[in-house]
Amino acid sequence: MANAILEVKGVTKTFPGVKALDDVHFTLERGAVHALVGENGAGKSTLMLTLGGVYKPDSGQILLEGRPVDFDSAHDANQAGISVVYQELSLVPNLSVAENIFAHRQPTRSLNLIHWDKLHRDTRELLKRFGSEHIEPRTPVAQLSMARRQVVEILKAMSVGPKILILDEPTSSLTDVEAKELFANIRKLKAEGISIIYISHHLSEIFEIADTVTVLRDGKHVCDAAVDQINEEFLIANMVGRKIGNIYGERDPGAKIGEVLFEARDLARKGEFEAISLKVRKGEIVGVAGLVGSGRTELGRAIFGAEPADSGQLFLHGRPLAVRSTKQAIANRIGYLTEDRKSHGLYLDFDIKNNLVANHLGDFCSRGGFLRRGMMEEFAAKSVRDFRIVTPGINQVLNNLSGGNQQKVLVSAWFGIRPDFLIVDEPTRGVDVGARSDIYQLLRDFARGGIGIMLISSDLPEILGISDRVYVMREGRLAGELARDQATEENVISLAAGVLTRTKELPQ
Amino acid sequence: MNILQRLVRQREFVIFMIVLAVVVAMSFASPIFLTEGNILALLLSLSIQSMMAVGMVNLMIGGGFDMSVGSILGFTGIIVAMIMKAGVPVPLAVLIGLLVGVAIGLWNGMVVAKLKINPFVTTLASLSIFRGLTFALTSGRNIAELPKAFKAIGQTRIAGVQLPIIYALVLVVVGDIVMRNSRFFRQNYYIGGNEKAARLSGINVDGMTIFNYVLTGVLAAFAGIVFTARMGAASCQAGTGWELGVITAVILGGASLRGGSGSVFGSFLGVLLMALISTSLTLLNVDVYWQQFVVGVVLITAVLIDTLGSARSGGAQVKKQITGGKAA
């Protein structure tokens, strides 16, 4: 192909026990936005890291503008014109925006001393080029919102003047408005002739921004397609390798919603939320929607006792409930699935077994307080079966599982406390389609068993897809309550935003 | 954020204000505090630790840690004294002494960077090894009657100011400038702040780590040479436990055990504050045993001011950001 800027030919990469890439072929056209999709573990990240010079392929060839290349480091790839915007932000929090963008490439004067004025000038120019003049080059990155950090990350990649830019899940921490800005910037880059590889779980974004798409599954190349000739179903079917009808599943017509299980009256926590009154019934999945910073997560954490409310009352089974700590919440059979499984929810260096028992270790102890391994193993094996966790065994360390399977471990760990009331916060963030549909099914199964579920999520289709009722929060207050048949995307958004066109920024 | 809040969040500023407060209070409490003699004595007493602190803060910014600086100081002093006694000329002996510091730093750095052994464990072993060697080589005896030319290194005065003070001030000023402004030393802020990011930016993390240990080692060796010259004799005990004082001062001055922060100026203020406390307590006739107690209280107070300050502003911010996500 005359117009190909990058060709990947038969690249294979093996890690102990896994063939992460298996004879992958893939061509990037000059000036195109090429999406790369696949479930977690499909090989997207490995391919990205290989192109970015972090990994070396075991076999196969990478051609950049027709010439074979062989990178020894990320720096090499950078020099050759390939820049990667990593999903896990690669910024240094203590350093300024300017020093992060020009990391180790700061302009210098004599004696290798940094030319600060020029550094800040160059940074300001770059920020201006991408319509981000509102970011001050001297601000430490730690003081920026996630969205602005993402901008800094992209500018860092852009500052070397790459020919190819690889974006890995760039919208995972952005609001919709911020994502739109990002897309505008991507189009600008494309107009400048830069070729882009775009990796995302959000299929709708692919249809918005990409020209072509490559699907990977289990390390193998499945298909290439022009985006305007396919639809979302086609992609999902190719990613999963089987047809998934409605990923949210269907409501069981026989499922009954019972009496009120949990109630909050006038709950408030200074600076975060106030005057929150809500109810959750037995067998009901109640969605809590709202913009970032609307107090959704804070509310969930307050009910669970992680950062307790300042005032207001809680009732469970009609009885007043005093929850001042997470320990009390667990004793009352309230569970909480954190939105941030990596830093709050799981012990990634531990195996599945130990993660599953961590929040109710007492159940596995003998009278003398010693752990009973047999019981733990039995419980873990049963959970792995019941929750369809894909793993070689219960002794597998969590770091080796895909995001979706980690999330299933978290769900099953909380199910282990036999909760009556379960708060789930962003249960499917970073989880691929197949595992997502499993998790929704699990939540529905819990509800059918009589558990009340409070679903906090910023993924609107998810809220609408599985909730029986939806509360919408805005700026720390309840903006409204919608029954299932009123809960449309439009209604939720207008309640959440108040004024639709206003951009919601995080407080600085 | 107004300027005052911004300043308070700079650890240097907090320490500077404490130093100022102590100086003002002491100038009223003791008539001899602000005399030239007392100030020079104070500076002389902190000069050795200041030299070691310059190396230590550079290392700690880059995420490293060195427990062996006190032992390097003592070992170098003994080696230099021994070879001079054996007839090696003074300049060559000093050079060999510095090379001893380079070699120990290289060893520490290689073990940490290449074998990935924890810095605390690695340098704790070096602390023991080189203190042990110091005693073994001398059978625990001190070495006195060193050449005059050697003693001049630590005892000469220029315009009334002892040379060790001048060495220390030059190192602090140059160190502060290069660590703030040179691209080479700036690499440490990236390494300590986010090692993965540093690697991706093309920074030679292992090489820099080894360099940091070598610099710490050579500065500790230099401090050992100056200290021995000043005393006019090499002592087996020299530098015992000083690593803790240096590390305390560097943390007081804004460095973090996790790396990524700190400055030479801050570290110097840390050393200064500790010396001030000890001088002040002596002038106030407080029992010498209270000095360590006060240093501990000051250390935890400074760190608490910092942590509570960032919990109120930065901490809440970070939490808000963690709750980020796609808006409904």
Using an 8 Å Cβ cutoff, are A378 and A410 in contact?
Answer: no
If you search the block for the tokens 């940074």, which residue do you land on?
Answer: A123
A195 vs A253 pLDDT, higher one? A195
Q: Does A298 touch chain B (CB under 8 A)?
A: yes
- Which tokens sit at B61? 């910014």
Least confident of A361-370, B172-181, B209-218, B305-314: B305-314
Least confident of B137-146, B224-233, B318-327: B318-327
Q: What is the pLDDT of residue A245?
A: 63
A114 interfacial to chain B (CB closer than 8 Å)? yes
- Is the model's pLDDT at B323 over the cut of 60? no
β partners of residue A114: A108
On chain B, the residues whose CB falls within 8 A of the CB of A460 are: 328
Is a pLDDT exceeding 60 seen at residue B327? no
Is A298 found in the same domain as A183? no
Is the separation of the CB atoms in B277 and B252 below 8 Å? no
Residue type at A277?
S
The verdict on residue A286 lying in a domain is: yes
Instruction: Domain of residue B114: give its range.
Output: 47-309
A260-269 and A273-281 as β-strands: parallel, antiparallel, unpaired? Answer: antiparallel
Say if residue A358 is in the same domain as residue A235. Answer: no
Taking contacts as CB-CB distances below 8 angstroms, the residues of chain A near B317 are 142-143, 508
Interval B235-259: pLDDT, tens: 999 999 999 999 999 999 989 888 8
Are A290 and A233 in the same domain?
no
Rounded CA-CA distance A406/A389 in Å is 8
List the A334-337 sheet strands across, edge first. A334-337, A421-425, A452-456, A285-290, A469-474, A477-483
Query: Taking 70 as the threshold, does the pLDDT of residue A166 lie above it?
Result: yes
How close does chain A come to B207, measured CA to CA in Å?
A: 15
Mean pLDDT, residues B257-272 taken together: 93
In angstroms, the CA B19 to CA B280 distance is 11
**What ranges make up the beta strands (E) of B85-153?**
none
Q: Residue A387: what are its φ and ψ, rounded to 5°?
A: -100, 10
In angstroms, the separation between the Cα of residue B92 and the nearest Cα of chain A is 29
- Greatest alpha-carbon pair distance for chain B in Å reads 81
The helix/strand/coil state of A321 is strand
pLDDT for the residue numbered B325:
31
Q: Does the residue B38 lie in any domain?
A: no
Residue A262 has pLDDT above 60, yes or no: yes
In a domain, A253, yes or no: no
Residues A272 and A225 in one domain: no
Question: If pLDDT is split at 50, 70 and 90, which confidence band does A454 have?
Answer: very high
pLDDT computed for residue B318 by the predictor: 35
* CB contact at 8 A, A295 and A288: no
| A223 and A150, same domain (yes or no) | yes
**pLDDT tens column, A265-303:** 999 998 889 999 999 999 999 999 987 778 888 999 999
Percentage of chain A exceeding pLDDT 90: 21
User: How does pLDDT run across B70-88, given as a tens digit for each residue?
Assistant: 999 999 999 999 999 999 9
Q: Residue A98 and residue A474: Cα distance in Å, rounded?
A: 34
Q: Which of A73, A78, A94 is the best mutation test for B, with the most CBs of B within 10 A?
A: A94
Nearest to A99 by CA among A76, A116, A86: A116
Quick check: B303 pLDDT over 80? Answer: no
Q: What whole-number distance in Å separates Cα of residue A354 and Cα of residue A371?
A: 11
Share of chain B above pLDDT 90, in %: 66
pLDDT value, residue B10: 73
Task: State the DSSP string of A27-73.
Answer: EEETT-EEEEE--TTSSHHHHHHHHTTSS--SEEEEEETTEE---SS
Look at chain A and count its residues: 508
pLDDT tens for each residue of A35-63: 998 876 678 888 888 998 888 889 888 99
Are residues B201 and A75, on separate chains, in Cβ contact within 8 Å?
yes
Q: What percent of chain A has pLDDT over 70?
A: 94
Report which residue type is found at B250: V
Span A375-419, pLDDT tens digits = 888 888 888 888 778 888 888 888 888 777 888 888 888 888 888
For residue B21, the distance in angstroms to the closest alpha carbon of chain A comes to 29
Chains A, B: CB contacts within 8 A come to: 134
DSSP string, A237-288: HHHHSS--S-TT----TT----SEEEEEEEEEETTTEEEEEEEEETT-EEEE
Q: Mean pLDDT across the stretch A466-493?
A: 87
Q: Does residue B26 lie within any of the structural domains? A: no
Instruction: Locate A265 and state its tokens.
Output: 């009256």
A276 and A200 both lie in a single domain: no
B20 within domain boundaries: no
Contacting residues of A for B199, CB less than 8 Å apart: 73-74
Is A505 within the bounds of a domain? no
A200 touching chain B per CB within 8 A: no
Reference A442, options A391, A407, A399; nearest CA is A407
Of the spans A236-240, B168-172, B320-324, which averages the highest pLDDT? B168-172
Q: Extract the tokens encoding A253.
A: 């017509």
Task: Report DSSP letters for B238-260, one per residue.
Answer: TTTTHHHHHHHHHHHTT--TTSS
When pLDDT is averaged across residues A221-237 and rounded to a whole number, the result is 85
Cross-chain Cβ contact A171/B326 below 8 Å = yes
Q: List, in sequence order, every residue forming a beta bridge with A188; answer none if it has no partner.
A: none
Of the candidates A21, A18, A72, the residue with the CA atom closest to the CA atom of residue A47: A21
Q: Which of B193, B202, B325 sits opposite A292 (nearest CB)?
A: B325
Q: How many CB atoms lie within 10 A of CB A16?
A: 5
Nearest to A484 by CA among A507, A457, A463, A458: A463
Residue A505's pLDDT is 37
- State how beta strands A285-290 and A469-474 pair: parallel
Residue written as tokens 């997560």? A297
Q: What separation in angstroms does the CA of A169 have from each of A182, A291, A415, A428?
A: 12, 20, 30, 14
Ramachandran angles phi, psi of B170, nearest 5°: -60, -45
Together in a domain, A200 and A289: no
Q: What is the mean pLDDT of chain A?
A: 84
- Residue B31's DSSP bridge partners are none
CA dihedral B124, B127, B128, B129 (to 10 degrees): 110
Do A200 and A266 reside in the same domain of the chain? no
> Within 13 Å, how many C-alpha atoms sit on residue A140's CB side?
17
For helices B242-252 and B36-61, the axis angle rounded to 10 degrees is 80
For residue B77 the two structure tokens come to 């002093």
Query: Is residue B151 domain-resident?
Result: yes
Residues 6+ apart with CB under 8 A from A65: A5, A6, A163
Same domain flag for A135 and A233:
yes
Confidence at residue B324, expressed as pLDDT on a 0 to 100 scale = 33
B194 interaction partners in chain A (CB closer than 8 Å): 90-93
* Domain count of the fold of chain A: 2
Q: What is the DSSP letter of B326?
A: -
Domain-located, residue A504: no
Tell me which residue of B207, B208, B210, B236 sits closest to B224, measured CA to CA: B236
A224 and A289 housed in the same domain: no
**CATH code at position A60:** 3.40.50.300
**Percentage of chain B exceeding pLDDT 70:** 91
Q: Which of residues 44-63 of A touch B (CB under 8 A)?
A: 54
| Cα atoms in the Cβ-side hemisphere of radius 13 Å centred on A463 | 32
pLDDT value for A15: 77
The answer to whether the Cβ–Cβ distance between B261 and A90 falls below 8 Å is no
Give the count of domains, chain B. 1
The DSSP output letter for A96 is B
Which phi and psi angles does A290 have, rounded to 5°?
160, 160
Contact between A404 and A317 (Cβ < 8 Å):
no
- The pLDDT score that the predictor gives to residue A268 is 92
A119–chain B nearest CA distance, Å = 12
The answer to whether A506 contacts B321, with C-beta atoms less than 8 Å apart, is: yes
Contact A91 B194 (CB under 8 A): yes
Q: Are strands A469-474 and A260-269 parallel, antiparallel or unpaired?
A: unpaired
Q: What is the CA radius of gyration of chain B?
A: 21
In a domain, A339, yes or no: yes
Same domain? For A236 and A280 the reply is no
Query: Closest Cα partner for A74 from B181, B196, B104, B163?
Result: B196
**With an 8 Å Cβ cutoff, are A506 and B318 in contact?**
no
Residue-level pLDDT at B89: 95
Residue that has been written with the tokens 């995972």 in this structure: A172
Helix (H/G/I), strand (E/B), else coil: A23? strand
In which band, very low, low, confident or very high, does the pLDDT at A1 lie, cut at 50, 70 and 90? very low
State yes or no: pLDDT of B317 exceeds 60.
no
Output the average pLDDT for chain B.
88
- Residue-wise pLDDT for B22-72, tens only, equals 999 998 988 888 888 889 999 999 999 999 999 999 999 999 999 999 999
Neighbours of A49 (CB within 10 A): 19
As a whole number of angstroms, the distance between CA B188 and CA B202 comes to 13
pLDDT digits (tens, 9 = 90+) for A240-259: 776 666 778 777 776 778 89
**Three-class SS state of A15:** strand
Q: Which residues contact A488 (CB under 8 A, 6 or more apart)?
A: A464
Which residues are B314's β-sheet partners? Answer: none
B203, B322, B325: residue with CB nearest A104 = B203
Residues A271, A321, single domain; the answer is yes
Of B198, B147, B289, nearest in space to A75 by CA: B198
pLDDT band at A499 (very low <50, low <70, confident <90, very high): very low
The token pair at A180 is 């739109």
Q: Is the pLDDT assigned to residue B104 strictly greater than 50?
A: yes
A120 within 8 A of A98, measured Cβ to Cβ: yes
Range of the domain at A233: 4-240
- Which amino acid, residue B283? L
Q: Give SS3 for A454.
A: strand
Q: What pLDDT shows up at residue A412? A: 83
pLDDT of residue B199: 86
Spatial CB neighbours of B185, under 8 Å, sequence gap ≥ 6: B58, B178, B179
Q: What digits encode the pLDDT tens for the residues A112-142?
A: 899 999 999 999 998 888 778 889 999 999 8
- CB atoms < 10 A from the CB of A298, how many? 24
Between B183, B184, B326, which is nearest A176 by CB? B326
Taking the C-alpha atoms of residue A305 and residue A254, their distance in angstroms, rounded to an integer, is 34
**How far is the alpha carbon of A19 from chain B, nearest alpha carbon, in Å?**
24
Q: Which pLDDT does position A503 carry in this prediction?
A: 37
pLDDT digits (tens, 9 = 90+) for B164-182: 999 999 999 999 999 999 9
Alpha carbon distance B200, B73 (integer Å): 36
pLDDT of residue A16: 67
Give me the pLDDT at residue B243, please. Answer: 93
More confident residue, B53 or A1: B53
Q: What is the pLDDT of residue B313?
A: 43
Q: Residue A284 CA to chain centroid, in angstroms? A: 25
Residue A342 confidence (pLDDT): 65
Report yes or no on A508 lying in a domain: no
Contact with chain B for residue A119, Cβ under 8 A: no
Residue A504 has pLDDT above 50, yes or no: no
Residue-level pLDDT at A414: 83
